[in-house]
Structure 1
Amino acid sequence: MEAVTEYASYALPIATALVGVWLLVTVVRYVRADKGMRASMRQAVRVRWGWVRLARMAGLTVIDKTPGLLAQITAQKDGATPAPRVLTPKIKVKPDQFGVIVRARTLPQVGLEEYQKSARFLADAWRCTRVSVLPDGPGKVVIRGVRSDPLTTPTRHRPTGRPPADLTRWELGMDEYAAKVCVSLANVPGVTMAGVPGAGKTSGVNKFVCDFAPSAAVQIAAADGKVSRALEGDYADLVKRMFAFCGDDLDEANALFKRLVELRKRRSATIRDVLGVKNMWHVGPSPKWPLTVLIIDEAHTYFRDYKGSDPATKRLAALTAENARLVEDLVKKGRSVGILVILISQKTTGDAIPTFIRDVCPIGLSFAQKTVEAAVAALGEDIRNWPDASPVTLQDPAYVGVAVMAMQGRPGYTRIRTPYVSDGDAARVAEETSHLTVDPELCLDALLRSTGRTAMPAPRLTKQS
């Protein structure tokens, strides 16, 4: 007993010191946080303190009529019937810039479905704009409550200039619950991007280029139907990191598409002997076999169906028809050899992007649209069943930079806030990474020579200025 008393005399000061350190750290974190984070920290405290009462009112508790061991022993001594226990799920609360993330346990008769049914009550009690409930492993759920709407909060992305750790991972932005949204580019032949002018399409492409430009295993070409020269328009700051570029000239675009189809054919003919696989994604992109990305902005410029019987119109119609055939070849056959096509247009209807190209692209994004028909063309018929997520609702200026897409593993459609990338940051990244720009045909030639194989080189074009 003397030893216990002696240790107890030390335990109280130690416990007091630990509590004091914890309080000091909490106060320092609170003082150093910005206004939004402080509000979330206060919100987290309210969630913790009010959880037991709120769980009972929301029906997220269970009555356990089987007494515990201690209750049974006490009942035997007193001769009384032990009262049933009310079990409340345990939670862990973490604040962030937009609200709180609550990780909770499930109980018998209180599972994922019960939490989801109570989401609207939790949102009101926690003063949140919206609350989502998702599974977080066996016996666990994660409850996301956002106090401010991430979709109407503009964000800015400053590229680091470092190569991405995973070339198959495209980080688009954050969803309406402030969770990061990423899509896999592995085995993806094409991406379509639609939206009215000024809705955020170009900024989304800028982020893609700036994130992947620092990697020598990615090479980019672009065809921009809005301009005539590389130094004009939205890609003027990025053209230094592109191995080829053309404007609205149909002949130049046709030559670029032919060049990439030739590259596709050569890669298809040599991939098994050179890489030892039939699908490049089994080994991943490399500087010797880079992921080749073709960006086609204002795609309708190159696929327009010209009507007329005069020689000039017939020639243009023949060019656009061949352009569609060439791009179809890249989208349908370029996946396994590491060619990705990103098609951008205000509307991705069949007259802008032929359906035999558009419908093969597994990833489709739509920024703000004016008509339901345009939204259906970009996202499919099922968007009619999700009117709250329709891009038609994104016409308010507060939603510039917000896109809608269907995500694998999620029901319905996801709204995504894509961050803004400034022209200065884009120019900086392009300048710093311009030395990595290499024609993929030259990479293939060098790879074939290193393996002792020979192949007729495809005709090359100079970058248009």
Structure 2
Amino acid sequence: MTDLATLLEVGGPVAALGGGAAYARARHPGVYWSTVGLPVSTARLLGSYSSVMEACGLTVAPSRLRVLAVKATTRREVRPVPPRRGIIRPTTTGLRLRLRLAPGQEPADVAASAERLRHAWGVHAVYVTPVKPGVIDLRLVGFDVLRKVRMPRKLPAGLLKVPVALREDATAFVRDYRTVPHGLTLGATLSGKSMYLRHLITGLARQPVALVGIDCKRGVELAPFAARLSALATDPEQAAALLPVLIEEMEDRYDLIKARQGIAPDTPDEEITSDIWGLPEHERPVPVVLFVDEVAELFLVATKKDEQRRDEMVTQLIRLAQLGRAAGIYLEICGQRFGAELGKGATMLRAQLTGRVCHRVNDEASAKMALGDIAPEAVAAACAIAPEQPGLAVIGDASGGWSRVRTPYLSLAEAAETCHTSAHLAPDLPALQPFRPAVPVRPVKSPAPVVRPQPTAG
């Protein structure tokens, strides 16, 4: 009886702690990492750093001076030298430490051993980022941060910068239109493409930027944000009328740049290398971001007349993509597929879209349309996205780098409310006034009386 009581006293708390840890690891990985995973992984790293680096082939032979010093002071064996390790900095999602590489090593050597380091130190993933020649930043992620997205507390801010998703290394993916002016977003139905678009629009809605939308699905995607849009086209006929206005606006801005910098008026636009950001702030026109949802609707034709209209719209989009950046006009093209089968000009337009975001697609060809020409190795990662993970995407750009990201959940009501409260930030562009969407007036709720009236006795 005494042994049973002792077993219950000792085993009960141990079982409770083990069960609690297992539950936290499955349901609340952040809590588990902070309480259990962080100290365990830190102890593993400190205790096995030299041996793990040697097993991964990341050590070099010691210098002669080191060999002589060791032999003169001790009798122990002279071991190979690993990269010099900096201070370990714990985070809410993992660990960070800086390594100074030994002579003859490069960041690619450490990146090639990332999978081995992950298993040796018991973390979810290891990422390598070069800081400067000979120095790298090693980021250890303790759990799958894309399973339940929580954006970092400190996010980059600035004009035309929108933190829109979370990378798999627990850093924020920022859509910066000043750096990557035009982007292409592909994804099948229910892949999370609309969620990505909501974050972009709500992020830009809080900034002094003109938002223009082309939504040929009768506006079902962009109409909820009408309060903040400077222009909205909901069918190909309206889009055909809106695009020439944007072309004229772009040409007017080029004329402004020419006049300010003393460039001859007959100089072709293609030869002007400056942009609106070189103008004084009081003369600088507001940036314009054009969102095109379901771009295939602009390419599909049924009659000969529609084909002529399609060619004109595609040509205008290509001109905006080629020349719009200097004029402060940026494109965000969305669709399910975007290949040569859409028609003339599709490939040329896609080549101008630097930023690529590929959500779950229905076939490999669609992933190749988005990523095949900039990061071929990312195509397989895009095809591996499961339907049970909406919002998960693979991003890439012309540099060849790519990574997986996931957008946090944002309801349509919250996004529409953000656009409505920031409607006063919509700039006044007279050329776009005919295309300004009609916004229904919200009923004003009368406040409840502070004192409830009491009936008087008759």
2:406 alignment partner AA: R
Structure 1 CA distance, aligned partners of 2:179 and 2:76?
62
Counterpart position of 2:116: 121
1:34 equivalent in alignment to 2:31 = yes
Q: How does 1:55-204 map to 2 (within 5 A)?
A: 55-64=53-62, 66=64, 71=69, 84=78, 87-88=81-82, 89-109=84-104, 111-155=106-150, 165-186=157-178, 188-204=180-196
AA at the equivalent of 2:298: Y
Tell whether the 8 Å contact from 1:406 to 1:414 is kept in structure 2 after alignment. Answer: yes
Q: 1:271 aligns with which of 248, 257, 269?
A: 257
> 1:387-429 CA distances to partner (integer Å, 9 max, x unpaired)?
542x22113312x112223245554x32222233222331232
Distance in 1 between residues matched to 2:59 and 2:328, nearest whole Å: 53
Unpaired runs of 5+ residues, structure 1, are: 1-32, 307-312, 443-457
1:241 aligns with 2:236: no
Q: What is the CA–CA distance in structure 1 between the aligned matches of 2:217 and 2:281, rounded to whole Å?
A: 31
Q: CA RMSD in A?
A: 3.4
TM-score (norm 1): 0.74
Report the CA distance between 1:437 and its aligned residue: 1.1
In the aligned structure 1, how far is the partner of 2:412 from the partner of 2:89?
35
In the alignment, which residue of structure 1 is the partner of 2:299?
A: 303
Q: Deviation per CA, 1:255-298, whole angstroms, max 9, x where unpaired?
A: 21122122122222222325779411445987951111111111
TM-score by length of 2: 0.75
One-letter amino acid of the structure 1 residue matched with residue 100 of structure 2: R
Partner of 2:241: 255
SS at match of 2:308: helix
Q: Which moved more, 1:148-157 or 1:262-271?
A: 148-157
- Superposed CA deviations along residues 6-55 of structure 1, whole A, max 9, x for unmatched, are xxxxxxxxxxxxxxxxxxxxxxxxxxx83343344222343233324433
Instruction: Give 3-state SS (helix, strand or coil) of 1:136's partner.
Output: strand
Spell out the pairing of 1:250-399 with structure 2 (5 A cutoff).
Answer: 250-274=236-260, 278-283=274-279, 288-306=284-302, 313-352=303-342, 354-381=346-373, 383-389=375-381, 391-398=382-389
Call closer, same or farther: CA 1:84–1:189 in 2, change over 3 Å.
Answer: closer
Amino acid aligned to 2:410: V
**Amino acid of the residue matched to residue 367 of structure 2?**
A
- From 213, 222, 225, the equivalent of 2:216 is 225
- Residues 41 and 223 (structure 1), Cα distance of their counterparts in 2 relative to 1, 3 Å cut: same
**Cα deviation digits, residues 306-338 of structure 1 (max 9, x gap):** 2xxxxxx33333332322222223222222111
Please state how far the C-alpha of 1:341 moved relative to its aligned partner.
Answer: 1.7
Change (3 A) 1:100 1:352: farther
The Cα shift of 1:224 comes to 0.9
Amino acid at match of 1:415: R
* Matching residue's letter, 1:420: Y
Deviation for aligned residue 1:459: 7.8
Single out whichever of 341-350 and 48-57 deviates more from structure 2. Answer: 48-57
Alignment partner of 1:416 is 2:405: yes
Quote how far apart the aligned CAs of 1:225 are: 1.5
